[in-house]
């Protein structure tokens, strides 16, 4: 069995039990859990020492999954995303189908459709969205490579993915836009 496949299997086992994973995404290394499990989401907030009002990102594998987690998404977003090359997280109004503690007070939810093969395969086989938040303690910078991840984070998760630990290409967080129901995007982070 390949390292890639073994990591996928181990991650799914941990996610199903409400555990936390440390994994490479299409941007920076992330801490992840089942985005529909409120207790698992709470574990991430506790590990990062992050206030619960500060939102986290949800990863999905395909555009068609968006309708499961956003009430009445504006379909123009797909044209917008196709026009950008950088991984882009979109904040949508009308969040549904995820853990309550992932939804912002205003009912919005940040979602990114992943382009990374590992994340794509993991989400497809898990059959649920996965939380992704940078693998750092709150107020500390996001680690650009695996060796930069704090020991406290590594010790606080249930499984650490082996795939891409030796990738030393410096990663950057995604762009973030807010997509209003009227179809007007607001850039939050380039």
Tell whether the model's pLDDT for residue 170 goes beyond 90. Answer: no
Domain limits at 94?
3-189
Residue 61, classed as helix, strand or coil, is coil
CATH number of the domain at 26, please: 3.90.870.10
Report helix angle 3-16 to 117-126, nearest 10: 40
Question: DSSP class of residue 70?
Answer: B
Angle at 174 between CA 85 and CA 30, to 5 degrees: 130
Percent of the residues in the chain that have a pLDDT greater than 70, as a whole number: 99
Residue 128 binned pLDDT confidence (cut-offs 50, 70, 90): very high
The answer to whether the beta carbons of residues 89 and 112 sit under 8 Å apart is yes
Note the helical H segments in the chain: 3-16, 38-48, 66-69, 76-82, 117-126, 151-156
Tell whether the model's pLDDT for residue 6 goes beyond 90. Answer: yes
pTM metric for this prediction: 0.94
- For the chain, strand residue ranges (E) read 21-24, 29-32, 57-60, 88-92, 109-113, 130-134, 159-160, 175-179, 185-189
pLDDT of residue 1: 64
The answer to whether the beta carbons of residues 145 and 35 sit under 8 Å apart is no
pLDDT tens for 33-50 read 999 999 999 999 999 998
pLDDT of residue 144: 83
User: How many structural domains does the chain have?
Assistant: 1
Tell whether the model's pLDDT for residue 82 goes beyond 90. Answer: no
Residues in the chain: 190
pLDDT of residue 178: 92
- Give the phi and the psi of residue 174 in degrees, each rounded to 5: -75, 160
pLDDT of residue 66: 92
Tell whether the model's pLDDT for residue 24 goes beyond 90. Answer: yes
């Amino acid at each position: 069995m390949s390292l890639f496949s073994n990591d996928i299997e181990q991650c799914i086992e941990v996610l199903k039990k409400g555990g936390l994973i440390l994994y490479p995404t299409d941007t920076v290394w992330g801490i992840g859990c089942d985005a529909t499990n409120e207790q698992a989401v709470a574990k991430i907030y506790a590990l990062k020492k992050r206030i619960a009002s500060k939102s986290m990102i949800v990863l999905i594998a395909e555009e068609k999954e968006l309708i499961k987690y956003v009430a009445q998404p504006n379909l123009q977003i797909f044209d917008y995303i196709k026009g950008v090359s950088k991984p882009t997280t979109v904040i949508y109004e009308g969040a549904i189908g995820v853990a309550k503690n992932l939804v912002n007070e205003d009912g919005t939810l940040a979602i990114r459709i992943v382009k990374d093969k590992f994340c794509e395969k993991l989400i497809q086989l898990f059959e649920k969205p996965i939380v992704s938040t940078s693998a750092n303690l709150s107020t500390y910078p996001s680690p650009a490579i695996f060796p930069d991840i704090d020991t406290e984070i590594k010790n606080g998760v249930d499984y650490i993915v082996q795939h891409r630990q030796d990738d030393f290409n410096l990663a950057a967080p995604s762009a973030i836009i807010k997509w209003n129901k009227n179809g007007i995007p607001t850039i939050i982070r380039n």
